[in-house]
Chain A
Amino acid sequence: MTGTSDGFVVFDRVQKSYDGETLVVKDLNLSIGKGEFLTMLGPSGSGKTTCLMMLAGFETATHGDILLDGKPINNIPPHKRGIGMVFQNYALFPHMTVAENLAFPLEVRKIGRADREAKVQRALEMVQMGAFGGRRPAQLSGGQQQRIALARALVFEPELVLMDEPLGALDKQLREHMQFEITRLAHNLGITTVYVTHDQTEALTMSDRVAVFNDGRIQQLARPDELYEKPVNSFVAQFIGENNTLLGRVKEINGTALVELDDGEVIDAIPVNVRNRGDRTLVSIRPERVEIDPKRLTPGAHLIHAEVLEFIYMGDIYRTRLRVAGNDDFVIKTRNAPDQRRLRPGEHIEIGWLPEDCRALDAP
């Protein structure tokens, strides 16, 4: 056992294979603190849902241990784990009313009628659905069903709640509202939450920490701001947020990296996971960190020539596509401010960025 053993939920060298040959989850080590909101983020097939299902007990780990509050749970059936779960399609029992759905976990725990009713009502009020106890799930909208599913997962006061893409079926506005509500509830109740999603905005806005999954491994486990600003490899940089990439080769490396781009331009960057001179590298720069007004640039910024290819008006921001160092897909975002210039396609301009916003990552 390593230093990860002190968490509330611990994955210790967990592997999972469905067919005995290919590993869906490869050597997963993860420690989740009590009360933490952790999101497993990744493209489909990255192993994140499998991890959640192993934690819930619906899949068994091929190798390794899963610990809950210090105790291994590999041999405990799902119904004895006491973990609340919100399913992607809500999984409300259609033949029961909302109140009966919520009372179900209390009934199987042999909680007395009066106590049960009080808890059900409290849980319904918690999700602002107090008046809906007598309805059937089909009589509710998607967002309302979502709230009921959430209340049902919380009504028996579990210490750990798992959520499997619970907002996937809702429209954008409702989704944003529910994101806020779920985080608020989780923090108020002090529950440990493991949340699975493929939506990076959801992951960034809701979580204390995010585990980015790809190819059965955690690529990076970090706070949202760190994840966005300091991605540790090119997969994370490209998966989280929008990202400009320039391919090149490391020319020199000591503290900072000197990168010679493929068109001969030489730039400074922070070396992240390049080690040696001559390594191929992918330099990543966030669109909002590129400046087009030379007057606003602080000294030390790197200036580079760019040709405007496309200008898109998006309301709050302008999105401009440029050709930079041979890359036709270099995007910058500028705020729609009174003094902001609107660039025209065909224009040749100078753009600039700070070397510390420029990260030299592994070339995929």
Chain B
Amino acid sequence: MSQMDLPPYATTGQRIWHYAFYVICGLIFFFLIAPILVIIPLSFNAENFFTFTPKMLALDPEGYSLKHYQEFFTSNAWQHALWNSVKIAPAATLLAVGLGTLAAVGLSQEHVPFRRAIMAIMISPMIVPLIISAAGMYFFYSRIGLQGTYLGVVLAHAALGIPFVIITVTATLVGFDKSLTRASASLGANPVTTFFKVQMPLILPGVVSGGLFAFITSFDEVVVVLFVGSANQQTLPWQMFTGLREQISPTILAVATILVVISIGLLTAVEILRRRSEKMRGMSPG
């Protein structure tokens, strides 16, 4: 903050702008965070309402309960959805990380022909409207018998996650010193050893944050799974979506709160990793 302090020679206009800047930043933060924060107290609502009851506003303990959480952990439908998500998201993430990293490493080599075009195609799932990808996948997967299978949902989610992995890994590769791979070769390591012992540890932070984005993409995704999956592959977001449409139960708020907590946990992990990688990069010579 001390760097943001006003210099003694600031004009009145600069002073006004200085404080206005903080107000604008605060408003932006409020706009972004308020809708998320508001669901947290609501999820502890003792009634089946989506609004704050008078008892809640009076901070009466009777106005609060864990019944929606209990509902989430005991209802078959919710548990089925939870386990589907827990199965599908990691599988899709692993696939996206593996393929996305290979693609990024490959596309970072200058001799690859049409690298820009290939890159654009691989990243397209991020740009094309989801509903179009979803519809396309539906028709394609139906043809080859993948529609309504776990494998189909995993593949579809992996395709959505790959662009994130490619982008984060490519970004780390930009800072990667190519003479390190040459050094490794001159020391007698074959390309595979070089990849795992030299390149991979240095681009790992990019791989992990890409994987995290891929995981969250799959974990939060509702459109594609609606098309590609069947009732068996109903995931958490899908269940939330149907929950909203059909029963309007505050259980959704409990689930949302749990997801928010998981997201915060994952983002913290990313941040810690990023700091570690920065430290490591600061350590790289040149």
Contacts and interface: CB of A to CB of B under 8 A. Distances in A.
Interface of A: 56-58, 77-85, 87-95, 104-105, 108-109, 136-139, 145, 152-153, 156, 162
Contact of A152 (B187, B191, B193, B281): B187
Interface centre among B186, B188, B190, B280 (most CB of A within 10 A): B186
Interface in B163-193: 177, 179-180, 182-191, 193
A36 B228 CA distance: 69
B285 A95 contact: no
B282 interface: yes
B198 interface: yes
Given A84-B186, A138-B285, 14 more contacts: A78-B185, A82-B188, A85-B186, A88-B179, A91-B179, A91-B180, A92-B183, A92-B285, A104-B184, A108-B189, A137-B283, A137-B284, A137-B285, A138-B282
What is the predominant secondary structure among interface residues of chain B facing chain A? helix
A104 B283 contact: no
Interface centre among A77, A94, A136 (most CB of B within 10 A): A94
B286 interface: yes
Given A104-B197, A138-B284, A78 B202 contact: no
A137 B180 CA distance: 13
B189 A104 contact: yes
Contacts, number: 88
Given A94-B202, A108-B193, A78 B186 contact: yes
A108 B202 contact: no
B201 interface: yes
Nearest to B178: A91
Interface centre among B183, B280, B286 (most CB of A within 10 A): B183
B285 A108 contact: no
The 3 closest A-B pairs by CB, nearest first: A138-B283, A94-B284, A91-B183
B38 to A, nearest CB: 44
Given A90-B285, A138-B285, A145-B285, A79 B183 contact: no
Given A89-B285, A109-B188, A94 B280 contact: yes
Contact of A87 (B182, B198, B281, B283): B182
B46 to A, nearest CB: 53
Interface size class of chain B, counting residues whose CB lies under 8 Å from the partner chain = 20 to 34
Contacts of B191: 79
19 contacts: A57-B185, A77-B190, A82-B188, A83-B186, A85-B182, A87-B182, A89-B286, A91-B179, A91-B183, A93-B184, A93-B198, A94-B280, A94-B285, A104-B187, A105-B187, A108-B189, A108-B193, A152-B187, A156-B188
B133 to A, nearest CB: 37
A206 B257 CA distance: 70
A281 B278 CA distance: 60
Given A79-B190, A94-B280, A108-B188, A89 B202 contact: no
A77 B182 CA distance: 11
A77 B193 CA distance: 14
A341 B194 CA distance: 64
Contacts of A109: 188
A82 B189 CA distance: 10
A91 B185 contact: no
A105 B182 contact: no
Interface in B269-286: 280-286
A79 to B, nearest CB: 4
A79 B185 contact: yes
Contacts of A78: 182, 185-186
Contacts of B202: 94-95
Contacts of B283: 94-95, 136-139
Interface string B253-272: 00000000000000000000
Contacts of A94: 202, 280-281, 283-285
Contacts of B180: 91, 93
A91 B182 contact: yes
Contacts of A104: 184, 187, 189, 197
Given A137-B283, A138-B285, A56 B186 contact: yes
Contacts of B179: 87-89, 91
Contacts of A139: 283
Given A108-B193, A138-B282, A145-B285, A95 B183 contact: no
Interface centre among A84, A108, A145, A152 (most CB of B within 10 A): A108
A49 to B, nearest CB: 12
A95 B202 CA distance: 7
B85 to A, nearest CB: 34
A87 B183 contact: yes
Contacts of A136: 283
B285 A105 contact: no
B43 to A, nearest CB: 43
Contacts of A152: 187
Interface centre among B179, B180, B285 (most CB of A within 10 A): B285
Contacts of B185: 57-58, 77-79
Nearest to A104: B187
A144 to B, nearest CB: 11
B221 to A, nearest CB: 34
Nearest to B193: A108
Contacts of B201: 95
Contacts of B186: 56, 78-79, 81, 83-85, 153, 162
Interface in B201-252: 201-202
Nearest to A78: B185
A330 B201 CA distance: 58
A278 to B, nearest CB: 52
Contacts of A87: 179, 182-183
Contacts of B194: 79
